Amino acid sequence: MAAKEKNVVTAKYDASKIDKLEGLEAVRKRPGMYIGDPDERGLHHCVFEVLDNSVDEHLAGHCEHIEVTIHVDGSISISDDGRGIPVDMHPKFKIPAVELVLTNLHAGGKFDQGAYKYSGGLHGVGAKCVNALSEWFEVEISRDGKLYHMEFAQGKTTSKLSVTGKSKKTGTKITFKPDAEIFKDTTKFKFDLLAKRMRELAFLNPGLSITLTDENKNGKTETFFYKDGIEEFVKQMVKAKTPIH
């Protein structure tokens, strides 16, 4: 039997072929590794990643209400009344903590047991992946009596952290517009898909209120709040069933 011919790659393979991706470039180059396929499902997964951060604040005992708003320009906002992402200067990296958290793939408060005992999402890399896959991304933070603002585009800082006013509350608001270069199938958020996930989260987190608003549908709004949590979920599931005993 004749030996099978082998396909030999003749291209030069040396140090010049080893590529180092800076910042969040790896996320943009291989989004599937982080959010799955960049289709409708991946698009909505981005919202869930940011939403999970707010839910984590609730699990840590610092958040009671989350608001999600679909805007007419195709962007979406997720805001909470948690502690607010830290804004102080990081002692090692010499940049504001919020910038480090949103631009460095492996920086965050969820890699150890320091700030969060429980955490959903991509173990602290969720929001920064969303930042990388967004045409633009903004964060507003209410903390220490001040209102802070910072802007990004495709994962890179475009506007440094600044104080834009005073605030008597605490919390974080993230607004982003999906990048059509990444999400080629669609960049349009669907109310029903988001509502389904938010209803589940509200059931699983008794006492947490989540409000969803769609500005494209005359301000259609729905609030999810279940005092009894999973018990109420079970009751809703079986209320239309016929008892067998």
Question: How many angstroms separate the CA atoms of 128 and 161, rounded?
Answer: 16
Q: Is 25 a catalytic residue?
A: no
In 3-state terms the chain splits into helix, strand, coil percentages (rounded to 5) of 30, 25, 45
Q: What are phi and psi of 100, to 5 degrees?
A: -65, -45
Which of 5, 22, 25, 49 is flagged as catalytic?
49
Residue with tokens 């040396």: 14
Dihedral angle computed from the Cα positions of residues 215, 175, 125 and 222, in that order, rounded to the nearest 10 degrees: -30
Question: How many angstroms separate the CA atoms of 86 and 75, rounded?
Answer: 24
**Three-state SS at 191:** helix
Q: In what order do the strands lie in the sheet with 76-80?
A: 156-166, 146-153, 134-143, 171-178, 76-80, 65-70, 209-214, 220-224
Quickly count: other Cβ atoms within 10 Å of residue 168's Cβ: 7
Residues known to be catalytic:
49
